[in-house]
Structure 1
Amino acid sequence: MKALMPHFIVERPGVLSLIQDAGRFGQTHLGLTQGGPADRFSFNWCHNLLGNAHTCSAIEVVIGGLKLISQSHTIGCVTGAETPVTVNGKATPMWHTFEINIGDVIEFGFATQGLRSYFSVCGGFDIAPEFGSCSTVVREKIGGLSGDALKQGDQLPVFVDTDNPLPQSEINAIAPEFIPRFESSITLRVVLGYQHDWFSDLDIRRFFSSRYEISSQFDRMGYRLQGTKITANKTQMLSEGITLGAIQIPADGQPIILLNDRQTIGGYPKIGSVLSLDLDKLSQCKQGDYVHFEAISIEQAHNILHIDQHQQSLIQIVKKAYK
């Protein structure tokens, strides 16, 4: 039997802290975007280490500064951007489960490498879904506790299994060699779209041979880049659905890579789409970081995804007893 009760109080919300689950799907006909974790690898491994389903919710902590007070005895985990995390002032390793007691204070410093970290507990946070998901999309005022980022005084309930209140008897941690490193210069693999012939061969070569800088205009909706100008030979088109990772080329010729909170339709030409796996890396980048593009075929994209699934199955989990 499971009982619902508040477990964490937000003492300080940090720069931007959002409740996210796997995402909101099948609602684009209503104009609702998918939301969900910007870095799926880190989000999924937070839940893997806790023994949760990937549909469970977590807090996406952008940059840092979050401070929580626990109201239960449970197990927690933090993954993602390299961020100082303390429990009652004592440093706690990331990618590593840890015991949380009633009254414990969990505090996030500011990310030193990467941008987004993920925190959850066994069973996840019990947030009422809206249109099939509790993922927060601030622009749409949907998801989370009130369609907005966490605020001071918010209470975050979780499910507690009263028959097994502490479901893990030992620490789970990813072996250090499998923990991702977040770089300031990354390569994004791109599948060209059907509108690629709206661009000259010269512009396509420029696109794939240039280095682009991430501008100050980046968020969960998309990343606007700065660099070599790319021009489509068509400027007028009907609005159409936009996929995750689509690369729009607006009138100024500066690419925009669209992410989880993107609009559902748009009318800019699209040169192609970034491989979904590479969006995890992009979401950990910040202003001033650099992006290169590499063209791949659809067949190569499928093969890369299959190889990644196999590689993730080889990730080693280290177990040891709690002190």
Structure 2
Amino acid sequence: MSFLEVVRPGVQSTIQDSGRRGCRHHGLAAGGALDLISYTWANKLLDNPRNAACLEIVLGGFRAIAHGALQVALTGARTRVTVNGQTVESWQTLNLNDGDELTIDHSTHHRLVYLAVVGGLDAPEQFGSHSVVVREKLEGQGPVQAGDRLMPLQPKRQVPERKVPDHQRPDLDAETVIRLIPGYQYPQFQRADIIRLTTSRYTVGDQSDRMGFRLQGTPLSSPPPGIISEGIALGAVQIPGDGQPIVLLNDCQTIGGYPKPGVVPTVDCGLLAQQLPGASVRFELCDLATAQNQRRLFELHYQNTRWCQTGQELEWL
């Protein structure tokens, strides 16, 4: 039996997959990995199923001991990763031997690190998902604690050494531009406020977490009044009375009463979720078809490519 024994979970580490579907009418958040791209690449490196559960580590500070031979993959925020004190690269597969100590230092540039194991993590499932939404306190699902054992579903399966090509990794150091798809309440906003929203720079506020990111900058001067509470979803941009945008993320509530000029595509939500307080971001208008096509291509690439024998590139089937 092979597993990772958690010695130090860091600020917060939770098990996440791609989230639950069809449960919002029960008052349950979708949950799921915040950074879709990093999460998906971690599973792709190991030929895991698209929805395989992995570990989402906030701000690093994680340490674990391998018991038995184990193959893992690390993606996400740039930070120092060591095995037995020796620095190793992320965005690639990593073979751990019995007794190896894996350490992920605290991240100073971005927020999220993803740790996948071959076959996916064996974790409790509730309402069709392994994803942990901490505030919901579903039975058997909670933050990872020191002493927990992270068990792979298929510990004996092995893949060759692989590395995500540089050109296919997200550039987290580039300017953070989050696209905005106009919604049905868009016409209720003053034209001057829409221009202000899409030409101003905002900074990520301290009160930002898996529920949503509060952005700080030049406030909208005349946001529409509150509305009757209605269903909301991942990426919705709420404008409360202070005129400062809130971008809702995976653990957001299921209903809300603030007006919304539009929604941010899931891929862009992941880029935003990687940003630390004080980081600069800006909005850019986008049409629905463009965002949908990008997501389709992303999913097709996962399903219809395979690793070359060198493990350095992918080829289409």
TM-score, normalization by structure 1: 0.90
Alignment partner of 1:177 is 2:173: no
| SS of alignment partner, residue 278 of structure 1 | helix
Partner of 2:215: 225
Which whole-Å deviations, capped at 9, do the CAs of 1:206-257 have from their partners, x for residues lacking one? 1111111111111111000111212555423211111210000011110000
Count of aligned positions: 310
Partner of 1:271: 261
Q: Which amino acid aligns with 2:52?
A: C
Unaligned runs of 5+ in 1: none
Q: Which amino acid aligns with 1:159?
A: L
> Is the CA contact (8 Å cut-off) linking 1:184 and 1:285 kept in structure 2?
no
| SS of alignment partner, residue 287 of structure 1 | coil
Alpha-carbon separation, structure 2, partners of 1:159 and 1:311: 24
Shift of 1:306: 4.2
Q: How does 1:101-250 map to 2 (within 5 A)?
A: 101-142=97-138, 146-160=140-154, 165-168=156-159, 170-183=160-173, 185-231=175-221, 234-250=224-240
Shift of 1:6: 6.5
**Aligned to 1:282, which of 250, 256, 272?**
272
Alpha-carbon separation, structure 2, partners of 1:184 and 1:287: 16
The CA RMSD over aligned residues, in Å, is 2.1
Which whole-Å deviations, capped at 9, do the CAs of 1:168-217 have from their partners, x for residues lacking one? 2x201112232222127411111111111221111111111111111111
TM-score, normalization by structure 2: 0.91
| SS of alignment partner, residue 48 of structure 1 | helix
| SS of alignment partner, residue 114 of structure 1 | coil
Alignment partner of 1:35 is 2:31: yes
Shift of 1:303: 3.5
Shift of 1:311: 6.9
> Is the CA contact (8 Å cut-off) linking 2:2 and 2:66 kept in structure 1?
no
Give 1 or 2: higher strand fraction.
1
Partner of 1:65: 61
Shift of 1:310: 6.5
Alpha-carbon separation, structure 2, partners of 1:27 and 1:301: 24
Partner of 1:23: 19
Identity %, equivalent residues = 39
Alignment partner of 1:257 is 2:251: no
Alpha-carbon separation, structure 1, partners of 2:78 and 2:204: 20
Q: Which amino acid aligns with 2:311?
A: K
Alignment partner of 1:75 is 2:71: yes
> Is the CA contact (8 Å cut-off) linking 1:232 and 1:249 kept in structure 2?
no
Shift of 1:51: 0.9
Q: Which amino acid aligns with 1:87?
A: V
| SS of alignment partner, residue 193 of structure 2 | helix
Shift of 1:121: 1.0
> Is the CA contact (8 Å cut-off) linking 1:178 and 1:316 kept in structure 2?
no
Alignment partner of 1:319 is 2:303: no
Q: Which amino acid aligns with 1:230?
A: L
| SS of alignment partner, residue 45 of structure 2 | helix
CA distance change for structure 1 residues 233 and 114 in 2, over 3 Å: closer, same or farther? closer
CA distance change for structure 1 residues 275 and 159 in 2, over 3 Å: closer, same or farther? closer
Partner of 1:293: 283
> Is the CA contact (8 Å cut-off) linking 1:79 and 1:95 kept in structure 2?
yes
Q: Which amino acid aligns with 1:103?
A: G
Alpha-carbon separation, structure 2, partners of 1:138 and 1:54: 23
Alpha-carbon separation, structure 1, partners of 2:268 and 2:301: 15
Shift of 1:142: 2.9
Alpha-carbon separation, structure 1, partners of 2:44 and 2:239: 37
> Is the CA contact (8 Å cut-off) linking 1:199 and 1:231 kept in structure 2?
no
Which whole-Å deviations, capped at 9, do the CAs of 1:248-293 have from their partners, x for residues lacking one? 0011110000000000111110010012221121111011111111
Alpha-carbon separation, structure 2, partners of 1:105 and 1:236: 52
